Chains A and B, each alone.
Chain A
Amino acid sequence: MSEDLALANGQTRMEVAYGAGDGDDDAQAVVAQRASLGVVFEQVYRPWNGTLGPRWVRNYAIFRHHVYGLFSSKGHRYYNPFVRLTILVILLSSLTPIAMIFLSSTLPGDASDWLTRMWGINRYNLWGQVLGYYPRNLCMWPLLTALVVGGMISDDRKNGTSAIYFSRPVTRTDYTIMKFLSAAFVLTFVIVFSYVLYYSTSIVFRGEGWAFLIDTLPMFLGGLIAGLLLVFTYTSIGMALSSISQSRFFAAVAFLAIIFGTKLTALLVELVFQTSIIYILSPYDALAHIGQWLVGIPPNYEHSLAFSIVSVLVYNAASIAVLVNRVSSLEVTRE
């Protein structure tokens, strides 16, 4: 019987359990072999006497599954090579200021000054590294989020693989939180990591001292918080869309549509009707507004900061509500 057990790989087990295959394939199930005449089948439940790993170990396994997949698909979540390539390109291009800073530390005189003015650490550059609209927030972050978050839950719905999670000692809450965290981690890796790297390397390359550090640390922290807020908000919107979609593509396009659509609409209204209030509908602009306050640069928006804060809160609350609702009603079969 043990050979049969070995033969029964994950896929066939799923098919036997949920009838996803047509049953006439080479699927093998342990129980069917032991059946004798007149008995439909004999199912033996063997009590498992091992010790269950602590909850965080199980949860970490989910997290690891999603994050490691970025580097190696063997045994981890499959990321399309194209997605990996895009993430790499986005990461590299968000690191371009570092190259410029490095260049400025090697060049003498005027050229160095100019490079420092353009790419060195100041409030505007710190804000721009995470929240600047063109090109980072226009094409990079939304695309990154769309690619990473799009399939997080919709893939499970489509393939029925959520059953694999829910047939294990994993609660739906843990499942959701770990999926959320792993998506947020990947985004953090690109968005916040490049920001931190930018700040620290430019200090190293420029040979700045304590005074500079003390001067710039508050704005650095402000930018850091803004970046984390951006990651959190984008992830929750993306996860909510992923949880209501049948395909990762729909979630991805819907995310882009929300980010670009609200931004453009607000721009249109501002251009024609001279009011900036519609910007509160745009998650990007609400985040940028908060970021401007956190980093300490004058806002581009006429409306009060409170509106933007409320907007970000509402976006997050609504997204998480949708996410929780959808996951708790997620069926364990292929939908």
Chain B
Amino acid sequence: MDKQGRGLSETVWTRLDRKAGAITELTVRQLRHRMSTWVVLGVGTLLILMLLAFYVDAVRDGFEPIDNDGDSEDWDGDGYPLGQERKYGTDDWDPMQYPGSGYYVRDGEVHWSDQNRTHSGNQTWIDATGIFSPIWIDEDFQYNRWDDVDFSDLDDCTQNGEFGVDWWISWGDACQQSNGDIALMSVNFRGEGTLRVLEEYYSEWGHFTDQYYVEPEPASNYIDEDDIDWDGNILSSSQGFDDDGDCLRVDWIELDFWFEEDDSNRNGIPCDVVWIIGSDGETIIDIRADENVDEDPDDEKLSGESIHRVFIIAVGKIAFIMILSIFLPLFLALGLVRDETENGTLHYLLSKPIHRGEFIVYRILGYLLIAGSFVLLMSFLMGIFTSLLGPGDSIIRFRDILIWLAIGLTTVLALTAYGAVFNTLGLVSPKYGVYIALIIGVWEFMMAVLTLIGGGSTTIQYASSLSISHWSLQLVDSLVLIIWPDTLTMHLMAEAFNLDTGLDVIWSPPAHTLETGNPYVSAIISVVILSLITTLMIFLAQSVFKRREIM
């Protein structure tokens, strides 16, 4: 028992604890009694609920399998999808050409300078320019969709003189002369007779292979048909198999316009994928795929998961970090000490045996209790929904809950840092503080946008690192990689196999890893920087407040 008759249990710490409790509780109750707090939190809840509604709606629709390489489309409407047309070497822009339609084989030609300028026979004539003396003409023939000369109803040539010397007709046109010969200007047709090619023009002739019937394949055959083939064998860097054959093209009919290099990653092996493993022997740090290899993977397995992650990361970054963590402190934290000073109610609190420095810390603690628990509640809500509704076989995706916890905690860290900054501003400069806070808010917002859109660019990463939002977003990126290590692989796959999942837009590997590539490093750096900002700000506020004369 001390001289004031208090028990031994009354240590300095329990009394400190009680003071902290009292001020924190007072702050919480004060904020609770402000209408604006409820408006702000209500709007925040509405925002999260709206995003959830969109998410639930999207899940109900299911993840449509996405045709990543676009070869399931039937552009010319001939009933054969692009993939099948490619196999048969036909053009998917031309309904006249389709698998089994036969293809043209050139037999001969007349160049602009050739001496012999006539040819006779039953042929398919291509780019015929000159005078044709017909024996018969296939009036139904159409070489491609742009041919529009109607041989059943030819115009008469009305000009006098010699065609090609005295008069001309327009390209792709034909007319019948009075002697029955046909004047042609780069026309495709089929018929028997003699073609006299105009001087200094080109024509060719050939024949069509036999037509045969090919069963049109359903478009679904060309969706998700080239899955990613990776056996997990880290010793072999050459992986992947071109399941749909659009890179290997064995037994395919090649056409001139359909040509791509089959070893675009230049490792000497055609149609493979190089998976580059990091020095730790486990992490994939780069993927270099040859064109058209593994380019249309199973979306249910891959895109579904990616899109789900994109949703979580995007909501975490934009809604939680950029909206909630900037605006909640602006509304709630700026007046923590400033309002008390302005009202004069500070006198009640400061006439108690409590250090002014402690007072600031407890005030921020009270604000955090409201703002932080709100954010954690919202992230928990999101976690429950996404872990139940997300793709996969398990009933609950525990990693989702973890990731939401990470986002929630990151937001709380950001809330603390912003709270400390704004509180300090209001305290240090009661007159200008509010305006500076507004401008800092806008600045943080701009830097967050820069960080978000400039994911890959190191210049932008370093330029925008002069902001709290940058480090919060970095922390989210790092934590995502820690909790879902395969996000990096997905990100690389999205880039390598042209997956349109948005993962490469919304998430990029953390930049500040001291060149180790280790997410733990960047996470720790981010946490340290955020805590440092918070501590510095609180320290600044304390030292200013301690020497402040209060009228």
* Interface positions of A from 64 to 96, Cβ below 8 Å from B: 80, 82-83, 86
Interface flags for A214-240 (1: CB within 8 Å of B; 0: not) read 000000000000000000000000000
* Interface positions of A from 249 to 287, Cβ below 8 Å from B: 249-250, 252-254, 256-257, 260-261, 264-265, 267-269, 271-273, 278
A80 in contact with B435 given A250-B36, A273-B58 (CB within 8 Å): yes
Pick out which of these stretches binds chain B: A102-110, A115-123, A138-146, A319-327. A138-146
- Secondary structure at the B interface, as helix, strand, loop or mixed, is helix
Instruction: Select which of B314, B327, B505 is within 8 A of A253 by beta carbon.
Output: B327
Do B319 and A271 touch (CB < 8 A)?
Answer: no
A249 in contact with B434 given A143-B442, A264-B322, A271-B506 (CB within 8 Å): yes
A264 in contact with B318 given A139-B446, A250-B36, A256-B442 (CB within 8 Å): yes
Pick out which of these stretches binds chain A: B46-54, B78-86, B207-215. B46-54
Complex Cα gap A271–B435 (Å): 32
Instruction: Select which of A83, A138, A250, A257 is within 8 A of B435 by beta carbon.
Output: A83
The verdict on A131 contacting chain B, using a C-beta distance below 8 Å, is no
Complex Cα gap A146–B502 (Å): 34
The verdict on B26 contacting chain A, using a C-beta distance below 8 Å, is no
B318 to chain A, nearest CB (A): 4
Q: Which residue of A lies closest to B50 (CB)?
A: A265
Do A268 and B319 touch (CB < 8 A)?
Answer: yes
The verdict on A126 contacting chain B, using a C-beta distance below 8 Å, is no
Number of A-B contacts (CB under 8 A): 94
Interface flags for A239-253 (1: CB within 8 Å of B; 0: not) read 000000100111011
Q: Which residue of B lies closest to A150 (CB)?
A: B438
Q: Which residue of A lies closest to B311 (CB)?
A: A272
Q: What chain A residues lie within 8 Å of B318 (beta carbons)?
A: 264-265, 267-268
Do A256 and B47 touch (CB < 8 A)?
Answer: no
By Cβ-Cβ distance, the 4 closest A-B pairs, closest first, are A268-B318, A82-B435, A253-B330, A249-B434
A190 to chain B, nearest CB (A): 16
Instruction: Write 15 A-B pairs (CB below 8 A) sorted by A numbering.
Output: A80-B431, A82-B432, A86-B435, A134-B449, A139-B442, A143-B438, A143-B442, A250-B331, A253-B330, A253-B441, A257-B43, A257-B327, A260-B323, A261-B47, A271-B505
Q: What chain B residues lie within 8 Å of A83 (beta carbons)?
A: 435
Residues of A within 8 A of B (CB): 80, 82-83, 86, 134-135, 138-139, 142-143, 146-147, 245, 248-250, 252-254, 256-257, 260-261, 264-265, 267-269, 271-273, 278
The verdict on B417 contacting chain A, using a C-beta distance below 8 Å, is no
Residues of B within 8 A of A (CB): 36, 40, 43, 47, 50-51, 54, 58, 307, 310-311, 314-315, 318-319, 322-323, 327, 330-331, 334, 431-432, 434-439, 441-443, 445-446, 449, 502, 505-506
Q: What chain A residues lie within 8 Å of B445 (beta carbons)?
A: 138-139, 260
Do B314 and A268 touch (CB < 8 A)?
Answer: yes
Do A80 and B432 touch (CB < 8 A)?
Answer: yes
Complex Cα gap A222–B58 (Å): 38
A16 to chain B, nearest CB (A): 22
Do B441 and A138 touch (CB < 8 A)?
Answer: no
Q: What chain A residues lie within 8 Å of B327 (beta carbons)?
A: 253, 256-257, 260-261
Do A253 and B331 touch (CB < 8 A)?
Answer: yes
Instruction: Select which of A138, A252, A257 is within 8 A of B446 by beta carbon.
Output: A138
A272 in contact with B310 given A146-B438, A147-B435 (CB within 8 Å): yes
Q: Which residue of B lies closest to A249 (CB)?
A: B434
Q: Which residue of A lies closest to B47 (CB)?
A: A265
Complex Cα gap A261–B46 (Å): 12
Do A269 and B442 touch (CB < 8 A)?
Answer: no
A143 in contact with B51 given A264-B322, A265-B323, A268-B315 (CB within 8 Å): no
Q: What chain B residues lie within 8 Å of A260 (beta carbons)?
A: 323, 327, 445
Complex Cα gap A146–B445 (Å): 15
Complex Cα gap A271–B449 (Å): 14
B532 to chain A, nearest CB (A): 26
Do A271 and B432 touch (CB < 8 A)?
Answer: no
A209 to chain B, nearest CB (A): 40
Q: Which residue of A lies closest to B446 (CB)?
A: A139
Complex Cα gap A325–B314 (Å): 39
B440 to chain A, nearest CB (A): 11
Complex Cα gap A147–B441 (Å): 13
Q: What chain A residues lie within 8 Å of B434 (beta carbons)?
A: 248-249, 252
Q: What chain B residues lie within 8 Å of A146 (beta carbons)?
A: 438
